[in-house]
Amino acid sequence: MKAIIFDTNGQKKTDKELPRQFNEKVREDIIQRAVLALQSKRRQPYGADPKAGKKASAELSRRRRQYRGSYGHGISRVPRKILWRRGTHFMWVGAFMPGTVGGRRAHPPKAEKKWEEHINKKENRKAIRSAISATADANIVAGRGHKVPENYPIILDNSFESLDKTKKLNEILSKLGLANELKRCTVRKVRAGIGKLRGRKYKTKTGPLIVVSKTCKLSKACKNLAGIDIVNIKSLNAERLAPGGAPGRLTLWSASAIDMLEKEKLFM
């Protein structure tokens, strides 16, 4: 498969053969596993206090002729604590059991539970290759909701990595046919549900991903463009290429990132 290299003026420069990572069969099931494994590592463990609901003294004897015992009182065998007594007259209330007020929970969440999911190294690499392959298929990318330009896939000239102005980057992306995609990413939607009370009122679209070969000024220019992310080729993972486990994110590659992918045989 070939892709066109574009310069900073939006003009076609030359063609380039894509490396064999782009020829991997798209496996949505493996991509989904890799994404879930990444998400599970960010999950915060939580659990109840092991002593919650167990701090009351609720020992109550059921034996005959036992002082403070409940035998012969015609009450159930629920653990109870004594609130007051007058001689052998006691005031009991249920405690400790799950069915009582202030009692323990039957099966509370345990803080020691392991939330992290494991994925094999080779399987993870295959997931990344599969997600890379999906980014080059215009039909899969369009099916994900992106506005795909006419000339796709797109490789950017190495001079892109030195761009540091958002306005200049916006102009170039528009020349490459991504004006509709950038407009799509600016639309914000108010979330339906209680999440809007929890610091996530708006839902925004996921836009293009730009893959570069090194830490560069371009990351500064991308900050003010909604939906656009930039990532180093060596930090690439399945979630970046397939957010939410859905393959086919619209991806722009720098020429040096493609060269590095081929020469160093990354993710193989």
Which domain CATH number covers 142? 3.40.1370.10
Domain of residue 105 covers 46-114
Q: pLDDT tens, 191-244?
A: 999 999 999 999 999 999 999 998 888 888 888 899 999 999 999 999 999 999
Q: pLDDT tens, 30-53?
A: 999 999 999 999 999 999 999 999
For residues 210 and 136, give the distance between their C-alpha atoms in angstroms, rounded to a whole number: 13
Give the pLDDT of residue 92.
Answer: 92
Within a domain: 268: no
Q: pLDDT tens, 120-148?
A: 999 999 999 999 999 999 999 999 999 99
What is the reported pTM? Answer: 0.84
Task: Please check whether residues 19 and 71 belong to one and the same domain.
Answer: no
147 touches 182 (CB < 8 A): no
Residue 7, C-beta contacts closer than 8 angstroms, at least 6 positions apart: 13, 157, 159
Task: Please check whether residues 54 and 38 belong to one and the same domain.
Answer: no
Residue 42, C-beta contacts closer than 8 angstroms, at least 6 positions apart: none
The residue out of 114, 137, 152 marking a domain boundary is 114
User: Is it true that the peptide bond before 79 is cis, omega within 30 degrees of 0?
Assistant: no
